[in-house]
Structure 1
Amino acid sequence: MIEKYKTEHLAKNFQFVLVDKQGNVVESDNTLFNIDVDSQIQDWHPFFENFSDLLSSFKDKLHIDCVHLDSGNTQYITDIDFEKKPDGVLIKVHNLTSYYDNFQTMAQSRNESAIASELIIIKNKEFEERERFKNQFIQNFSHELRNPMMSMMSITNLLAKTDLTPSQKQLLEYVQEGNEHLKLLLEDILSISMISTGRLKLENKTFNLHKLFDLLRFTYANKAKANGLKFDAKIDARLPETAEGDRLRLYQVLTNLLDNALKYTDAGSITFTATLNQKWGNKMNVRFEISDTGKGISTENQKMIFESFSQLNHTNEKDGVGLGLAIVNGLVKLMGSEIKLTSEIDKGSMFYFDLNLKTPITQIKKAPLQKTIKSFAQKSKAAMEKQKILLVEDDERIQTILLKTLIDSGNYHVDIINDGGKVLEQVLDTDYDLIIMDVHLPNTTGNQLARLIRDFPIKKIKNVPIIGITADAFEDNIKGYLKDGMNTVLSKPFSDSQLTAAINKYIK
């Protein structure tokens, strides 16, 4: 049986032709091609035109791959063997058309796959380059904008402390509101950039969960009342007082969701709910919900609203650039959860997510009353003595504003230096209780100076508290400045109260 199949296969795919040494066809089985006996092989196909030269090029056998031959309208791709015999030359033609076609298809597929892979690599590199450029632009944009913002906010705060007419006060309030809006917008853009680049890291610490709820209740009850809305906070009594997690990012998520609800609710109410889903060991899962009676969101738009710079058409009259929910989405994912939404047009929306938090084994301890009174007395005594502060800042506007803020408090003597190269000399000549120093200075940087000061062999100089101020708000940069020896870092623009709190922390 096998011999039969073998014969059938050979009959279909092989042709044998016997020619003499002059190329005259002696015999042909004509399996593939019709070749007449007594004809010249050189006349049958152009491939054999140089048969004589071909014959002289080998001694016994010759194999040639991938020879294209045609018979009428049929194209064949063949391998041809030449073998010298006593009575002439035997030509064996092997039809390998399907093999070469498959090989070519496979090779083409591989080439296309390789090209596609190269295109993906190119596109990824292009995307990475665009992202790198975008984030570098955002970082530079943020840095360049923070100094003038610091000036505007501080000047308006100083003006608010002067005698103004009622109309001047109203105009000043408009300016202050605009400054705050610009600051929040800048922080939102920075948050989006940090989330997209993976530079935003969670800082899990123990915090008072109930105080966070109280802050939200107080803040948004007043905001809702000002907008003619009702606000309700429903807090599960089973929730512990303290929790371990990133309080700042949780607060950022909740305030963005609540601000969004306020923005798009014209009448009715807003409800904030925190519910304990389950608790095991020192871990718990909490559901946070923000519901409103606002305009609602259609099903087809519910995914789009979580994209950066996206707003729905019917909300165009509202302020904002569509970053709040994109930040919420990014932060909730970073915290290991997923923001979800149920909504109905003209009836309202509910945003919710389930978050894993830890319950610390040791609760936050309150300081004893006697110790608190003693600490207060020490600070009061220190406040009566003027402290020496070195202010290192090259921007004259920031210099003026910070100097006025510090001098007006009546608690400090302030020296000013605008050149980083003169700081060490000044520190050696004068004993300072505190240094306030910008990171970006002429001739050197504030963090480099902080490293040099920490390496001083003189204890009083080595241990002097350093408050860094910077327009670089990226967390990685701030962590680097702290590692270099700064005690704390304030990102511009900061308020008078933030500066005062930082100073009081280190001057006793």
Structure 2
Amino acid sequence: MAYGNLKKQLFESRVQEIEISQKGEVISSDNAIFNIAEKSNISNFHLFFELFPEVLTSINENIQFPCINIEFEGVKKIIDVEVIKKEKRFFLFFFDLTEHYENSQPIVQEKNEASIAKNKLDFEKKLLEAKEEFKNTFLANLNHEIRNPLNNLLGFLETLSASSLSYEQTELLKVAQKTGLQLKVLMEDLLDISKIEDGVLELKHVNFNLSTFMAAIYKHFQHKYSSDIHFTVETESKVHTALIGDPNRLHQILFNLIENAFQNTYRGSVSLSVVPSPNNQHIKSSNETVIRFIIKDTGKGIAQEKISKVFDNYLQLEKEKLKPLGDGLGLKIVKNLVQLMNGTVAVESKIDVGTEFILDIPFTTRIPKKKAYKTKKIPGIYINKNILVIEDIKDNQMLFFKHFLNNDEAYVMHLATDGAMAFSLLEKKRIDVIIAKTTIPDIDIFSFIDKVKEHPEDSINKTPIIVASGNSLLEFQNTLEEKEISNYLMKPFTKKELFKAIKESLNQ
């Protein structure tokens, strides 16, 4: 067979030509692929051609339709369809590309699946980033909005506690203070969980004395709960007490575990034992130690099926009494903080017998310094220090006035309600420290700091600035540090914390 005839045969066997009228009636068909009867209507051939008569009325040029799956009278094909209009005559061409499409389909499918997988990963990444941004923004806003009124609540309660109260009033005040502090702890736990998950919570490495630390823990819980529950704290003599670590995080861990023990114990005892950990035998460095903290109670206990989930987010155990505020967050933050400190935590429990939490936490040891003899502070002549407070909310202003009223440090408060008033006072009076809020009415805090630092007079541009805020976002605090402020005062703060920040700023 000649090459030309072979080519013609291959072409003719794979291409079908059909002439149709404008109404879709089949005038002729070579039936190379499908057996289509003359005088039948193409709209009845297959669902794809059902609306073809309407298509033909509006056609002005050739139209192509690729990859059409057709099954007719037992013949299955994948075809390309081309419609050609020529001098009021309409021609359909079916191109049999079944083999081509079937061979290329796996490749196309694989490519599509890879593209879908990539798009899915991109989408999931963007979704995760959006969720993270929403979570951080939500927590920051919630934190800021709660800390401001909480600062006033605890501040005025602190002021009230210094006044003459009856026994009943004092007890009621203690309940109010306890509730306020519990709210503060809950907010800090929420934020710390978020920071740990984001990998931005940093541990401090400072000197502290474990004996003094344990005494404070004992005193706090001894006064907090009723005598129905016997509370003890015991530290073995072999335990190193001169340590370097993060006492604030250790306090947070033990506070949450002891609080949890009291909440689940209605009679009997709660104990905290401090002993050298058996893991010390694996420590090679002479200035490292692992300390074991055991918190034991005689409460209801935890069912075995719940023990593995006890550190999960927001798990709440069944209690006879009202569930305490923030229950579930405490144990979650314990696990996260212990892991951050390279420690371990385990729990053992029996129903109606009690629960035991066992912590192993490593610390650096140090040689304790000899206590220096301190002379008693005696009254004398103090030089007034002028403190400029920038605050526009009346309740906050009143709290600052209460803090500075009759103070022993000779701090004199001057009030400005906005940036313009603050600069007017700075230029008229020698100001020793500025305490500014982050939301100054007429100027943002960063611009205010820049304006102070860039002032031509040294008496103004060298004035220490303390920023008082409820904003706990790390990026925000880092930006303030870059501006070289002297101190950041996180709300809620006590009078003692306020005056400590002022004193540190004056000594810089």
TM range (shorter): 0.7 to 0.9
Shift of 1:324: 0.5
**1:149 partnered with 2:150:** yes
Does residue 331 of structure 2 align to residue 330 of structure 1?
no
Residue 110 to residue 492, structure 1, CA distance change in 2 (3 Å): same
Matched, 1:181 2:182: yes
Could you say which residue in structure 2 is the equivalent of 1:393? 391
Measured in 2, the distance between the counterparts of 1:387 and 1:123 equals 56
Q: Distance in 2 between matches of 1:157 and 1:238?
A: 36
Deviations 1:320-374 (A, max 9, x none): 23211111122222223343222222222222333332234xx4545643xx43x
Q: Is the 8 A contact 1:454 1:463 kept in 2?
A: yes
Aligned mates of 1:273, 1:22 — CA distance in 2:
95
Determine the structure 1 residue equivalent to 2:116: 115
Name the stretch that deviates more: 257-266 or 277-286: 277-286
Cα distance in 1 for partners of 2:405, 2:478 equals 30
* Cα distance, 1:264 vs structure 2: 0.9
* 1:366-381 correspondence to structure 2 within 5 Å: 366=370, 368-369=372-373, 372-373=374-375, 380-381=379-380
| Cα offset, 1:393, TM superposition | 1.4
Matching residue's letter, 2:428:
D
**Contact 1:290-1:352 within 8 A present in 2 as well:** yes
- Of the three residues 400, 403, 412, the one matched with 2:401 is 403
Report the equivalent of 2:293. Answer: 288
| Distance in 2 (alpha carbons) for counterparts of 1:235 and 1:484 | 47
* Structure 1 letter corresponding to 2:365: T
Q: Deviations over 1:295-316 (max 9, x none)?
A: 2222322243323322124467
Closer, same or farther: CA 46–136 of 1 in aligned 2, 3 Å: same
Q: Note the 1:68-467 alignment, pairs <5 A.
A: 104-105=105-106, 107-164=108-165, 167-223=168-224, 226-235=227-236, 237-243=238-244, 245-274=245-274, 275-276=276-277, 277-278=279-280, 279-281=283-285, 282-314=287-319, 317-321=322-326, 322-360=328-366, 363=367, 365-366=369-370, 368-369=372-373, 372-373=374-375, 380-381=379-380, 384-409=382-407, 411-456=410-455, 458-467=457-466
Structure 1 pair 263/499, CA: closer, same or farther in 2 (3 Å)?
same
Q: Deviations over 1:172-227 (max 9, x none)?
A: 44433332222222222222332333332222333333332332233334446644
Aligned residues: 439
Give the distance between the partners of 1:45 and 1:468, measured in 2 at CA: 83
Give distance in 1, aligned partners of 2:170 and 2:210: 37
Shift of 1:147: 1.9
Distance between the aligned counterparts of 1:501 and 1:21, measured in 2? Answer: 100
TM-score normalized with structure 1 length: 0.73
- CA, structure 1 residues 386+129, in 2 after alignment: closer, same or farther (shift >3 Å)? same
Partners of 1:269 and 1:293 within 8 A in 2: yes
Shift of 1:427: 1.9
Equivalent position amino acid for 1:307 in 2: D
1:319 Cα shift?
1.2
Contact 1:434/1:464 (<8 A) preserved: yes
How far apart, in 2, do the equivalents of 1:433 and 1:473 lie? 26
Q: Secondary structure at the match of 2:215?
A: helix
- Kept in 2, the 8 Å contact 1:447–1:485? The answer is no
What CA distance in whole angstroms lies between the structure 2 residues aligned with 1:429 and 1:199?
Answer: 43
Q: Structure 1 unaligned runs (5+)?
A: 1-15, 26-41, 48-65, 78-95
Once the two structures are aligned, what percentage of the paired residues are identical?
28
- Give the partner amino acid of 1:206: N
Q: Is the 8 A contact 1:448 1:484 kept in 2?
A: no
- Give the residue type in structure 2 aligned to 1:494: F
Counterparts in 2 of 1:102 and 1:328: CA distance versus 1, 3 Å: farther
- Distance verdict in 2 for CA 1:109–1:380, change over 3 Å: farther
Letter in 2 for 1:159: L
Give the SS at the match of 2:149: helix
Distance 2:197 2:302 in 1: 26
Contact conserved, 1:447 with 1:486, CA < 8 A, in 2?
no
Paired AA for residue 304 in structure 1? K
Deviation at residue 19 of structure 1 after TM alignment: 11
Unaligned runs of 5+ in 2: 11-29, 36-66, 79-97
Distance 1:123 1:503, change over 3 A: same
Once the two structures are superposed, residues 119-164 of structure 1 have per-residue CA deviations (whole angstroms, 9 ceiling, x without a partner) of: 3432342233233212211211111222222222222333334444
- The residue type equivalent to 2:411 in the other structure is Y
What do residues 237-259 of structure 1 show as CA deviations (whole Å, max 9, x unaligned)? Answer: 1425122x222212211211111
Confirm or deny: 8 A CA contact 1:296 1:347 kept in the other structure: yes
Paired with 2:344 and 2:490, the residues of 1 have a C-alpha distance of: 30
Equivalent residue for 1:9? none
In structure 2, C-alpha distance between the alignment counterparts of 1:457 and 1:206, rounded to whole Å: 41
Contact 1:283 1:358 (8 Å CA) reproduced: yes
Structure 1 Cα separation of the partners of residues 371 and 459 of structure 2 = 29
The letter of the residue matching 1:325 is: L
The 3 A distance-change label for structure 1 pair 45 and 480 is closer
Q: CA shift at 1:399, angstroms?
A: 0.9
1:475–1:215 distance in 2 versus 1, CA, 3 Å: farther
Assess if the C-alpha contact under 8 Å between 1:194 and 1:474 holds in 2. Answer: no
CA RMSD of aligned residues (A): 4.1
